[in-house]
Amino acid sequence: MNTRILIILALIIAGIAGWFFQQQGKISPPVNIEASEVDYEATDIKAVQTNEQGETEYELNAESLTHNPVTNQDEMSGITMNWEPSDEQRYRIEAGSAAINQQTGELHLSGGFTLVSEDKVSENKTAATDIEPIQVTGQTLKGNTKSRQVYSNEPVKVVQGMNRFEASSMKANLETGEYEFGKVAVTFTPVERQNKALF
Q: How far apart are CA 183 and CA 166, in angstroms?
A: 8
Q: What residues does each domain of the chain span?
A: 40-182
- The better pLDDT of the pair 4, 179 is held by 179
Whether the CB-CB separation of 90 and 82 falls below 8 Å is answered with yes
**Dihedral pair phi/psi, residue 58, rounded to 5°:** -150, 150
Give me the pLDDT at residue 73, please: 80
Give me the pLDDT at residue 180, please: 92
CA-to-CA separations, 150 to 64, 79, 135, in angstroms, rounded: 23, 16, 14
Cα-Cα-Cα-Cα torsion 64, 69, 70, 74, nearest 10 degrees, comes to 30
What is the model's pTM?
A: 0.68
Q: How far apart are CA 186 and CA 179, in angstroms?
A: 16
Is the bond into 133 cis (omega within 30 degrees of 0)? Answer: no
The CATH number of 40-182, from 3.40.50.150, 2.60.450.10, 1.10.260.40, 3.40.50.1950, is 2.60.450.10
Q: How far apart are CA 94 and CA 196, in angstroms?
A: 49
**Does residue 129 surpass a pLDDT of 80?**
no
pLDDT in tens, 77-94: 999 989 888 878 889 999
- Taking residues 142-160, report their average pLDDT: 91
- The better pLDDT of the pair 124, 11 is held by 11
Give me the pLDDT at residue 124, please: 46
Whether the CB-CB separation of 156 and 134 falls below 8 Å is answered with no
**Percent of residues, the chain, with pLDDT higher than 90:** 28
**Does residue 37 surpass a pLDDT of 70?**
no
